[in-house]
Amino acid sequence: MIKLFLFFIFYLPACLSMAQEIKVYFSPNGGCQEAVISEIRKATHTIDIAMYYLSSGRIVQALVKAEDRNVRIRIVLDQGQEIEAASKSSYLIKHGLMVRYHLGFGLMHNKFAIIDGGSLITGSFNWTLTAEERNEENLLIITDQETIEKYEERFNYLWETSRIDSRNARGFEVIPSWFCATFHVLC
């Protein structure tokens, strides 16, 4: 009887606290974009994003609204996004969001976001309309703290090793973007 009592008092609550929720979404048209927007809308303090390709107007609008709510947003994009016509990086910068570009020689192919240190969005899903409507992609929303901490470490590394936009606040190039993309210095 004492063992059963101890089980209910100590072991069962510990097991329940370890049970974390994972939500799974697929595209096309499987709710990935809405899930991302929903998580952004829940943010109250921070959003850290490492994203290869970001061109979804709806997701960008949700990010701008989060910035308007004083949520601190940091975004690391692949360096190709600085000059890609469909990229929303310039729009985000003009609206006051902090955007940096990856300096590595390979692609910055990550696709994840951390919301308030308590929710992780990850998977193959690029934040684009094509990914939502045509591509076969997946998205996971994870609340496991240990997993989130590993992604936070990686994001901080990416943030520290990336460079700021080569344009000033008015959109004029201070250092030509082709120079930054080619030589990875002084940018």
- Active-site residues, by number, are 109, 111, 116
CB atoms within 10 A of CB 158: 21
Burial of 95 (0-12, 13-18, 19+ CB in 10 A): middle
Report the greatest alpha carbon distance in the chain.
75
Q: Which of 151, 138, 166, 130 is nearest to 47 (CA)?
A: 151
Q: Name 170's Cβ contacts closer than 8 Å, sequence gap at least 6.
A: none
Please tell me the distance from the alpha carbon of residue 136 to that of residue 134, in angstroms, as a whole number. Answer: 7
